Amino acid sequence: MLSRFRCKHVFVSMILFIIVLISFSLPVHAIDNSSDANSLMRHIDRLWRSDSAHSTMSMTVQTRRYSRTMKMETWSKGKEKSLIIIREPKKDRAIATLKVNENIWNYLPKINRITKVPPSLMSGSWMGSHFTNDDLVKENTYEDDYNSKISFKGLRDNINTIEITSVPKENAAVVWGKVVTLIDQEKFVPISSSYYNEENILVRVMHFSQLEIKDSRLIPMKMTLKPLDKPGESTIVEYHDISFDIPINDNVFSIKQLKR
């Protein structure tokens, strides 16, 4: 879908998002041992996740050539099912993306057409952002796919922090050679995640901000992704509202629903 937006072959791989990233969340007080790297990363994995969720959000994409903001509504059920519908701007209204397991379909209302994203286009940019179609189907977790250890503990920018370095487990199907996550030691929320390629070169950084309590969990409502090979560019995702563990009919995640 969205051939006019196939402007870059960029990367991102964080669970996080764009489709709400949801499944089995823990409340803020659920960490028993702050010195346990695996427990901390399990908590980070599950911050935005629950059995189901509904959210409204905006995504702002800044590139060398343009800046654009979209407002979206999303529904998720576990890690397998997600639906995103664009509400604004008017020219993009009702464009929708459906994810079921590892399949993605896109709906273009202007031509009333549903297309399935083929494997050859999975690395293409989603809606002109620094996220790719492939990011929407990835279900990697730190707990399952990485070995994590504490690499630093102490003050940074006057914040008590824990730095955790995660490297892929043998035969894990991940794209990163290393991920370094900085966590607020008192609030147990991520401050930033730095992503390295297999040559150990830092290629992108995700920053987390605007903390709010939602359904008994403290979560960052704003995420800023910066690709280091494109200075000045970024994709910012801001949640306006998010509700966890709500009833969602499976019919929502159907191809027919894309046109409604």
Q: Please tell me whether residue 154 adopts helix, strand or coil conformation.
A: strand
Q: Which residues pair with 180 in a beta bridge?
A: 165, 194
| The pTM of the whole model exceeds 0.85 | no
Domains of the chain by start residue, with CATH? 3-259 (2.50.20.10)
Rg (CA), the chain: 18
Average pLDDT, the chain: 80
Contact 145, 174 (CB under 8 A): yes
- Tell me the per-residue pLDDT of 103-142, one tens digit each, with 9 for 90 and over: 889 899 999 999 887 766 555 666 667 766 555 555 567 7
- What whole-number distance in Å separates Cα of residue 182 and Cα of residue 144? 19
* DSSP character at residue 120: G
Sign of CA dihedral 112, 117, 122, 123: negative
Q: At 49, which amino acid appears?
A: R
Nearest Cα residue to 75 out of 259, 207, 256, 254 = 254
Residue 22, pLDDT above cutoff 60? no
Structure tokens at 86: 């664009």
